[in-house]
Structure 1
């Protein structure tokens, strides 16, 4: 890549492939965030830092999987509808126990779902297969050994891995850990990420607008995205368009943050000063500037003092797509977390879309259910500066470099960025 000063105001002369740029950026990063212990109840959406194994057997005893009678299978070898076998019912074991009864030859003990299995029994016959006559259970079918019994440790056994390193902890894992007696769990620390916007035309709120200024969309959006990914965003504000001031703010942020993300001034125009500001920093290293993606071509990837720095375009759609494609993977890398594939659906494209050869395009689409199938409607707006293309879209259609578009009616794979909705709950047609 040519020196930035030689291409400012001229345009990019070459582009780096997205996959190559990301790979090199991750490789150049020398930062890991470490770990902390948190209460299990507060661990939802955090990433496990160590492998967790079960200290107990679950269930801790053999238990019944159905309502019925605990029996000895050998007593029922000859049972059939024409030859029911009578067993003496000697009592009942409730779900909370205790299992202080013993099943001997010719006997049965009534149990409910979850009841501990009494001594001597090796199977449970379902209630529906038994005719109760007084204190006798007449059984008309055979049973296999351990039929309808959940064995001790069948769910989890001592030493079995229940949480792999780097996995996102969901409410299900919270429940599993609590059942096993864990009160705390070791998780990756949240990466501290400095978020700043550049540009003299950008202000923080509508009430601050004067003349032709615009309200900052990118900063609050990226802060929210960082929280969703698992980061701790640090808002360093709107930095203006003075190279020296921007450089100073980046330098300060690098002292206490793990990653710096700036939006605006990222291209090669005469007023795109963000790149120039990063270049003035000691130990700055350019990984890539100018990627073969649309939107997001002007994105720049750097390391400064071994810490990752991203300069994202000021256009909202470009900033968001660059975040999802580059900053989000870097966040997982910092936490040493396992990458989670985004949720994708197959949909029928409603309109033809084109993509330049050699460019990976990300087309915002609206996925709707129509006539029993999912359809993807391209959000038709002009330019990456339109925030409505993000607000109206609930999915992104990726067009690879070697594909020049798709035709209407093509079945395509769409990555969802929001849920597919069908209307309010309670409407009969949505049930």
Structure 2
């Protein structure tokens, strides 16, 4: 099956997971389920941005150490974040007051050193949009707006891996970075036992790592067919030809090859779109970099090339059968469409950050 066709079919099967409300700090990394906007502008009154003396700017025009301006009463001292006293609209630095606290030795402009009412978080300002991943800065703004809960979608994926398991920690980290959670469960070797595990509830999707090829002990495709429905097995993808997907109950199941390069390629091609569909995530902005060397590809297959981002652009490291010592250098990947024979050096291409 062509990769584009497989992704379309897979995403059509996926449904966004149920929303959950959680504190902003706990929501970081998850995808916002709806727009969040400020209802009432903040601050409610003019506040100090730094420590200083609160004055009316018009009352100290022309003040200097040589020609101080004498006020009827000494100005009030305010700390950063405090509201300004009535009748004041600006701040003077600590050294602006002479020996007599009523004598002002510096002038200031209206609003200097202060935040006007409703300008820190204006009424109606959108703090996070539906489909955006909540960032630490989003959480800061949400907490400052007094919002103790934000509704997000955070898919939970179950990873089935056989020992020795070296891939689930990496996949789990990638899943967490894109707003999901992951649990690791041992993968049974026999088809019946694996089918029983696939049928267990409690996950939004299941990843079967390894056992997906034509080997005599590879039971992934057979087990998925027994547990539900095998929608596709075998993709026009290099590496990752033995990847597949299907359904078991109300859960989507991905079959990922066990070899590291093929597993990671299948995750990039199928897993990332699946996770985005489950979380309701908006499309990521494209990352375009020039290739530092040419890339050759086979017509008719979607070929994935691992890249290392350098000052000059994206350096190709290898694709199918890339050795682990080079794969470990990668921080991005390129999906070469099946109609392309590759790209010459210097070609700007869209890359997927890892």
- What CA deviation, in whole Å up to 9, does each residue of 1:268-315 have, x standing for no partner? 566654223222334x251x4333332223321222334211112222
Q: Does 1:191 align with 2:155?
A: yes
The gaps in structure 2 that reach 5 residues or longer are none
In 2, distance between residues paired with 1:230 and 1:408? 35
Tell me what 1:100 maps to. Answer: none
Give the whole-Å Cα distance in 2 for the aligned partners of 1:413 and 1:160: 32
Other structure's SS at 1:176 match: helix
Structure showing greater Rg: 1
* Structure 2 partner of 1:45: 29
The answer for the alignment partner of 2:121 in structure 1 is: 156
In 2 relative to 1, CA 217–91 (structure 1 residues): closer, same or farther, beyond 3 Å? same
Counterpart in 2 of 1:25? 10
- In 2 relative to 1, CA 94–364 (structure 1 residues): closer, same or farther, beyond 3 Å? same
Give, in whole Å, the separation in 1 of the partners of 2:123 and 2:314.
48
Distance 1:411 1:192 in 2: 35
Mapped pair 1:231 → 2:216: no
Asked if the contact 1:317/1:390 (under 8 Å) is kept, the reply is yes
Q: C-alpha distance in 1, partners of 2:217/2:60?
A: 90
- CA 1:295–1:186: 2 relative to 1, 3 Å: same
Among 201, 210, 225, the residue aligned to 1:264: 210
Residues 318, 382 of structure 1: alpha-carbon distance in 2 compared, 3 angstrom cutoff: closer
C-alpha distance in 1, partners of 2:326/2:171? 16
- Structure 2 residue 44 is the aligned partner of structure 1 residue 60: yes
Deviations 1:89-134 (A, max 9, x none): 44223233xxxxxxxxxxxxxxxx6564444455x4876xx89796
SS at match of 2:333: strand
Greater shift, 59-68 or 260-269, is seen at 59-68
Would you say the 8 A contact 2:53–2:77 is kept in 1?
no
Deviation track 1:300-347 (CA, whole Å, cap 9, x = no partner) reads 1222334211112222112112213322332232233444447x3635
| Residue 208 (structure 1) aligns with | none
Alignment-derived partner of residue 317 in structure 2: 379
Partner of 2:289: 346
| 1:221 correspondence with 2:170 | yes
Given that 1:301 and 1:310 are in contact with CA atoms closer than 8 Å, whether structure 2 keeps it comes out as yes
Question: Which of 74, 90, 106 is equivalent to 1:91?
Answer: 74
Pairwise mapping of residues 54-133 of structure 1 onto structure 2 (< 5 A)?
54=38, 56-64=40-48, 70-73=55-58, 87-89=69-71, 90-96=73-79, 116-121=83-88, 124=90
Could you report, residue by residue, the CA deviation over 1:198-218 in whole angstroms, capped at 9, with x for unpaired residues?
Answer: xxxxx62xxxxxxxxxx3433
Q: Which of 132, 136, 146 is 1:181 aligned to?
A: 146
State how far apart, in whole Å, the 2-side matches of 1:358 and 1:132 are.
82
Q: How many residues align?
A: 349
Match of 2:254 in 1: 310
- Contact (CA 8 Å) 2:30, 2:180: kept in 1 or not? no
**For residue 423 of structure 1, what is the aligned residue in structure 2?**
none
Deviation of residue 36 (structure 1)? 3.2
User: Does the C-alpha gap of structure 1 residues 175 and 80 become closer, same or farther in structure 2, counting only changes over 3 Å?
Assistant: closer
Question: Are 1:94 and 1:115, in contact at CA under 8 Å, matched by a contact in 2?
Answer: no
Determine if contact 1:40/1:177 at 8 Å carries over to the other structure: yes
Preserved contact between residue 211 and residue 217 of structure 2 (Cα < 8 Å) = yes
Distance in 1, matches of 2:203 and 2:59, equals 69
Contact preservation (8 Å) 1:397, 1:414:
yes
Q: Indicate the residue corresponding to 1:210 in structure 2.
A: none
What is the rounded CA distance, in whole Å, between the counterparts of 1:72 and 1:367 in structure 2?
53
Q: TM-score, normalised by structure 2?
A: 0.79
Contact 2:257–2:263 (CA under 8 A) maintained in structure 1:
yes
- SS of residue in 2 equivalent to 1:22: helix
Structure 1 residue 176: deviation in Å? 2.4
Does the Cα contact within 8 Å between 1:365 and 1:394 map onto a contact in 2?
A: yes
How large is the RMSD of aligned CA atoms in angstroms? 3.8
